[in-house]
Amino acid sequence: MLSPGLLLLADSRLPAGGHAHSGGAERAIASGAVHDVPSLEGFLRGRLHTAGALAAALAAAAHAAAERPGWELLDEEADARTASPAQRAASRTQGRLLLRVARRVWPAEALEELARRTPSPHHPVALGVAAYAAGATAGEAALAAAYHAVSGPATAAVRLLGLDPVAVHALLAALGPDLAAVAGRVHPPGSWAELPACSAPALDLLAEQHARAEIRLFVS
């Protein structure tokens, strides 16, 4: 049975600022790369198996480290695996907001220690520690991170393109096996250096273009 903590962490209504980020979808739509449900599917699958896979691994690693904090080093590993400065900034903004909310919702020493050591952690790091505090497993933390990698951009596409929300949710449902596969491949690394380093150059370019855009609805 899934833990209640996982459901709350995956809920887009958690007031942690996720609604303000499109995960690259806004710029992909502006470029014409995403324009309907089939093109959105390609975008989401690509994002899930690159940025999503990395986020899942980082979240699980942060969860595993909750009893032996070393988050500064893990946060540096996240930095090293995020080539785009704009994506690093967006991840830290989301991580800081999630940490602030999680400390109130699930008071725990692990979250306080993370706040002392890394006040603006990368989002997957904050998510992994929040999952630990919420009573979720490391695997559930990975699943939540993978889900966030596609649900945010999907919601943004509905708003930006006026897509049928039922069709988009059917697409998310169809991604279920991929989500499970990405989360299922995550194993606690022997060292942070063993974490995956999935790259998505197109997402990096979209993020940098978005950061320079004069008109935009989403922060990222």
d(CA 142, CA 129): 11
Distance of CA 215 to the CA centre of its chain: 24
Closest Cα partner for 101 from 6, 15, 12? 15
Q: What is the pLDDT of residue 187?
A: 78
pTM: 0.94
| Contact in structure between 78 and 192 (CB atoms under 8 Å) | no
Q: What are the tens digits of pLDDT across the range 106-147?
A: 999 999 999 999 999 999 999 999 999 999 999 999 999 999
Name, of 22-36, 61-75, 196-210, the range with top average pLDDT. 22-36
d(CA 90, CA 22): 10
Q: What are the tens digits of pLDDT across the range 89-111?
A: 999 999 999 999 999 999 999 99
d(CA 71, CA 114): 7
Q: Looking at the predicted structure, is the pLDDT value of residue 183 above 90?
A: yes
Q: Please report which helix (H) or strand (E) contains residue 205, including its range.
A: helix 201-212
Which stretch of 33-37, 62-66, 101-105, 154-158 has the lowest confidence by average pLDDT? 62-66
How confident is the model over 71-87, as a mean pLDDT?
90
d(CA 74, CA 207): 23
Q: Which residue has the higher pLDDT, 4 or 22?
A: 22
Q: Looking at the predicted structure, is the pLDDT value of residue 1 above 70?
A: no
Which stretch of 92-96, 159-163, 180-184, 216-220 has the lowest confidence by average pLDDT? 216-220
Q: What is the pLDDT of residue 165?
A: 97
Q: How confident is the model at residue 190 (pLDDT cuts 50, 70, 90)?
A: low
